[in-house]
Amino acid sequence: MAMLSRLASRSSHLGRTLLLPRSLCCSTGGRHFASSAGDEGPTFTVETSVPFVGHRCEPPSREVETTAKELMGFFRDMSLMRRMEIAADALYKAKLIRGFCHLYDGQEAVAVGMEAAITRKDAIITAYRDHCIFLSRGGNLVETFAELMGRRAGCSNGKGGSMHFYKKEGGFFGGHGIVGAQVPLGCGLAFAQKYLREETVTFAMYGDGAANQGQLFEALNISALWDLPAILICENNHYGMGTAEWRAAKSPAYYKRGDYVPGLKVDGMDAFAVKQACKFAKEHALKNGPIILEMDTYRYHGHSMSDPGSTYRTRDEISNVRQERDPIERVRKLILLHDLASVAELKDIEKEIRKEVDNAIAEAKESPLPDPSELFTDIFVKGCGTEVYGVERKENKILI
Amino acid sequence: MRDGEDVGHYGGSYKVTKGLATKYGDLRVLDTPIAENSFTGMGIGAAMTGLRPIVEGMNMGFLLLAYNQISNNCGMLHYTSGGQFKIPIVIRGPGGVGRQLGAEHSQRLESYFQSIPGLQMRQPVVLFEHVLLYNLKERIPDEEYVLCLEEAEMVRPGEHVTILTYSRMRYHVMQAAKTLVNKGYDPEVIDIRSLKPFDLYTIGNSIKKTHRVLIVEECMRTGGIGASLRAAIIDNFWDYLDAPVMCLSSQDVPTPYAGTLEEWTVVQPAQIVTAVEQICK
């Protein structure tokens, strides 16, 4: 019980608000991220790690309502994401994944927290660190690995690669390689939502590196002028590739950079803080237009697989964050604290996840590579049904 | 849905969109701030959901600022998403050499956009309009009609030489044609209209008839539309040619301000007449 006392000393608040359930239904079934009603298990309140800091707005409360099912779901989903990214690392080193591969491990809390606060009708658009967001929007492991390996079963038929994952029916608009370009796209999505009166919002995600892009401020200005339901999420992992934030931005308070647009600073390693902030942001955006959320997060890997990640930061820093702020560990502690599962049961879940990932990789490996001739002439297996051509239609016409 | 600078209340800098804002309201005709990169990006984002935006650049040259959005997102999203997203967007804007507007406002960017893979005359569509043509008055039929954007237009049928042109140069060619007819030539003039793909059917039929081709374009000589049109013709219709394919293009210089110099950068009717005489020798 050393764990309990450590937690208790960190915040005495917890002791007052928690309810210790006697028994519970630990839902481990299903790799789907959509939560269904019923059988949620007991409800309790969790306090976020640190208070929110607001800019031009009243920050929401630190107390977050949650259920046993949601908490277990967070653990499972984040562990799955973590496992998937680590497996992708191994595949890249085995040269099965080529080109660029940007891994999200460390930042999982942003993906699951956001998903918990919204519906699939809300839209998310992000940059190239998109594997986990794709999963949380309804993607499955096989199409993820197949796409990374350039196979036909991939979510973009093998033609997109790591940086171009999309899931239209899940409201996930990609998957973009050019830094910052996805933010105006996201504001355009928000425009469409307002135009069509859908009462939904768009989360346009970008990093601390992209925060200095001019088109971001252009899009923010237009969104504020037209009151678009756009929520800009800055995933501040403190390094724009190899450049630390203090070397790139005169003002690294990204949540304040919107100036006239309200902002909120959130601990991005705390899934509940993320969930609370996103819920708050959605309500705000539907009534008052754009808002910026800065997620204070961290990536364990380097910028991409070509970057060791240790030339611009110390190994101590990385291991410190892993020890003190790891999102999965935080949730694990909460689960144990609330007696929702035992250490052994959690280990079992992790083992199961490992097997699931391994199976998915094996299945993805079976999928064939696109045939070379398909680039120029043929219809794809599940074709898009559209033609693309050069100036000479007869000579170079592609049916994709 | 149209967005661009001053398209709404002002009616557009060339009055193209005059009256639209009053008729359709502010949500459909949107005045944007001067932020081409982002409002083009926003147009593409809106198109991803199924809306059909028309993005108007006040001048084609300004859309260079949005080139990333047009090239990487607009052109490629359909392909990289495995067909999940269609981008039914129209990007239009005036361009070309006007009346002493200076180098940066006299751009001919057709060829820059021509090579973007995925960008074509179906969705997404980029429309190049010429500044000077806005002032021409022509009779437009009263009823609604739909033009097929992919087809070339037979402006003047003839027997001696095929002249392929587009945009403002068409009018220079027609002026030259008057002179040519007086001199006894019978040029066939085709406005190719679609820059990608080329309407090789119409063009080919014409070449099979006349066996001589002259391309007249306002684009730059280097890497212009004429260059790729020439390549296409040679690849496909080599056997039908009796003379080398000639191409008259603008000079490879930034457009000067002085009126006379400006005239010399683009092809003038007199040059067209000389070229036809040379081909038909």
Q: For the segment B128-184, what is each residue's pLDDT rounded down to a tens digit?
A: 666 666 555 444 444 445 556 667 889 999 999 999 998 888 889 999 999 999 999
- Chain A CB contacts of B83 under 8 Å are 157, 383-386, 400
Give A69's pLDDT tier (boundaries 50, 70, 90): very high
More confident residue, B28 or A105: A105
Q: What CA–CA distance (Å, rounded) separates A234 from B184?
A: 70
User: For residue B223, what are its two tokens?
Assistant: 């890497």
pLDDT in tens, A152-177: 899 988 888 899 999 999 999 989 98
Q: CA B18, B22, B25 angle in degrees (round to 5)?
A: 120
ipTM of the complex: 0.71
Cβ-nearest to A393 among B50, B117, B200: B200
Question: Does residue A156 form part of some domain?
Answer: yes
**What per-residue confidence (pLDDT) applies to B88?**
81
B148, with CB counted inside 10 A (0-12, 13-18, 19+), is exposed
The reply to whether A302 and A388 lie within a common domain is: no
Claim to verify: residue A363 and residue A378 sit in the same structural domain: no
Distance from CA of B192 to the nearest CA of A (A): 12
Q: Which of A266-275, A384-393, B138-147 has the highest mean pLDDT?
A: A266-275
A26 within a domain of the structure (yes/no): no
pLDDT digits (tens, 9 = 90+) for A224-245: 999 999 999 999 999 998 899 9
Q: How far is CA A231 from CA A235, A244, A253, A278, B53, in A?
A: 12, 24, 17, 9, 22
Residue B190 has pLDDT above 50, yes or no: yes
SS3 state of residue B125: strand
- Domain match, A299 and A382 both: no
What separation in angstroms does the CA of B236 have from each of A92, B85, B205, B223, B230?
Answer: 45, 34, 12, 20, 10
Identical topology for domains B2-133 and B153-279: yes
Evaluate the CA torsion angle B224, B228, B233, B234 in order and state its sign: positive
Q: Which domain holds residue A195?
A: 43-369
Predicted confidence band at B8 (pLDDT cuts at 50, 70, 90)? low
Q: ω before B197 within 30° of 0 (cis)?
A: yes
Mean pLDDT of B60-86: 79
Q: pLDDT, tens digit, for every residue of A340-355?
A: 999 999 999 999 999 9
Residues A252 and A337 in one domain: yes
The helix (run of H) or strand (run of E) holding residue A266 is strand A263-267
Q: Is the bond into A175 cis (omega within 30 degrees of 0)?
A: yes
Least confident of A104-118, A288-302, B261-275: B261-275
| Closest-CA distance of chain B to residue A388, Å | 6
A121 occurs within a structural domain: yes
Q: Give chain A's domain count.
A: 2
Average pLDDT, chain A: 86
Largest CA distance in chain B: 59
Measured between CA atoms, the residue of chain B closest to residue A380 is B82
Residue of B80, B114, B197 with shortest CB distance to A159: B80
Asked whether residue B196 carries a pLDDT value surpassing 80, the answer given is no
Q: What angle do CA B262, B264, B265 make, to 5 degrees?
A: 70
Amino acid B166: pLDDT: 87
- Tens digit of each residue's pLDDT (9 = 90 or more) over B77-96: 877 887 788 888 888 777 77
Cβ pair A219:B41 closer than 8 A = yes
Q: Does A327 reside within a domain?
A: yes
User: Domain spanning B153-279 has what CATH number?
Assistant: 3.40.50.920
pLDDT at residue B206, rounded to an integer: 95
Indicate whether A335 and A377 sit together in one domain. no
Is residue A353 within 8 Å of A79, Cβ to Cβ?
A: yes
Residue (of A84, A30, A3, A37) closest to A342 by Cα position: A3
The residue of A168, A169, A227, A392 whose CB has the most chain B CBs within 10 angstroms, and thus the best one to mutate to test that interface, is A392
With contact defined as beta carbons under 8 Å apart, do A251 and A208 qualify?
A: no
Pair (A233, A304) in one structural domain: yes
Domain CATH for A241: 3.40.50.970
Q: What is the per-residue pLDDT for A20? A: 36
A309 and A382 share one domain? no
| pLDDT band at residue A215 under the 50/70/90 scheme | very high
Of B85 and A57, the structure prediction assigns the larger pLDDT to A57
For residue A65, pLDDT over 60 is answered with: yes
Contact A376, A398 (CB under 8 A): yes
Q: Tell me the CA distances in angstroms from A392 to A158, B163, B200, one per residue in order.
A: 26, 18, 7
Q: Give the pLDDT score at A233.
A: 97
How many Å is the maximal CA-CA distance in chain A? Answer: 74
Tell me which of A218, A220, A386 to substitute to probe the interface with B (most B C-beta atoms closer than 10 Å). A218
Q: Do A185 and A64 lie in a common domain? A: yes
CA A255/CA B143 separation, integer angstroms:
54
To test the contact with chain B by mutation, choose from A191, A194, A232 the residue with the greatest count of B C-beta atoms within 10 A, namely A191
Minimal CA separation from B74 to chain A, in Å: 10
- CA distance linking residue B3 with residue B271, whole number of Å: 40
Check pLDDT > 70 for residue A28.
Answer: no
Contact B39 A184 (CB under 8 A): yes
Same domain, A150 and A127: yes
pLDDT of residue B104: 67
The confidence band for A24, taking pLDDT boundaries of 50, 70 and 90, is very low
> In angstroms, rounded to a whole number, what is the distance separating the alpha carbons of residues A63 and A34?
23
E strand or H helix at B113:
helix B110-114
- C-alpha B109/C-alpha B95 separation (Å) is 8
A188 and B43 within 8 Å at the Cβ level: the answer is: yes
Asked whether the predicted pLDDT for residue A383 surpasses 60, the reply is no
Q: What is the predicted pLDDT for the residue at A391?
A: 62
Q: In the structure encoding, which two tokens stand for residue A111, read together?
A: 């993906």
Residues B191-210 have a mean pLDDT of 89
What residue ranges do the domains of chain B occupy? 2-133, 153-279
CA distance B256 to chain A (A): 31
Q: Do A188 and B197 touch (CB under 8 A)?
A: no
Question: Cα A21 from chain centroid?
Answer: 30
What pLDDT, on the 0 to 100 scale, is given for residue B127? 67
pLDDT at A37: 47
**CA nearest neighbour of B217 among B96, B122, B105, B98:** B96
Using the Cα atoms of residue A294, residue A295, residue A300 and residue A306 in order, give the sign of their dihedral.
Answer: negative
Say which residue, A193 or A2, is predicted with more confidence. A193
> B81 and A160 in contact by Cβ < 8 A?
yes
Percent of chain A exceeding pLDDT 70 equals 83
The answer to whether residues A347 and A388 belong to one domain is: no
Which residue from A206, A325, A190, A317 is spatially nearest to A254, judged by alpha carbons? Answer: A206
Structure tokens of B225? 């539309």
- At residue A374, the pLDDT reads 52
Same structural domain for residues A165 and A144? yes
CA of B47 to nearest chain A CA: how many angstroms apart? 8
d(CA A309, CA A301): 6
A chain contacts of residue B43, beta-carbon cutoff 8 Å: 188
Q: With contacts defined as CB-CB under 8 Å, which chain A residues touch B38?
A: 183-184, 187, 215-216, 218-219, 222
Q: Residue B251, class by beta-carbon neighbours within 10 Å (0-12 exposed, 13-18 middle, 19+ buried)? A: middle
Helix axes B168-182, B269-279, angle to 10 degrees: 60
Shared-domain flag, residues A123 and A184: yes
Residues of chain B found within 8 Å of residue A385, distances taken between Cβ atoms: 83
Asked if CATH classification 1.10.3720.10 holds for the domain at B2-133, the reply, yes or no, is no
A to B CB pairs, distance under 8 Å: 169
Residue B227 has pLDDT above 70, yes or no: yes
Tokens 């600022």 — which residue?
Answer: B65
CB within 8 A of B143, min separation 6: which ones? none
